[in-house]
Amino acid sequence: MELASAPQVLLHELNHGIGNEFFSAMSLVSLAAARSRSNETKAALKDVTELLHHYAEVHQALTLPEADAVVDATTYLRRLCLAIKRSKLDHMKIDLEFLASPLELGSQQCWLVGMILYELITNAARHAFCGKKGKNSTLVTPTGRLTARVMVAFP
Q: What is the pLDDT of residues 3-46, one digit of tens each?
A: 446 776 777 788 788 888 988 999 999 999 999 999 999 999 99
Domain region containing 20: 1-64
Position 132 scores a pLDDT of 67
Tell me the Ramachandran region of residue 17: left when phi exceeds 0, alpha when psi lies from -120 to 50, beta otherwise: alpha
CA angle 102, 106, 110 (to 5 degrees): 70
Whether residue 35 is found in the same domain as residue 105: no
- Stated pTM of the model: 0.75
- pLDDT given for residue 39 in this prediction: 93
- Our count of domains for the chain comes to 2
Question: Per-residue DSSP letters for 53-90?
Answer: HHHHHHHHHTSPPSS--EEEHHHHHHHHHHHHIIIIIG
Q: Is residue 47 located within the same domain as residue 101?
A: no
The answer on pLDDT for 119 being more than 80 is: yes
In this predicted structure, the answer to whether residue 2 has a pLDDT above a threshold of 70 is: no
Give the integer Cα–Cα distance in Å for 140 and 101. 7
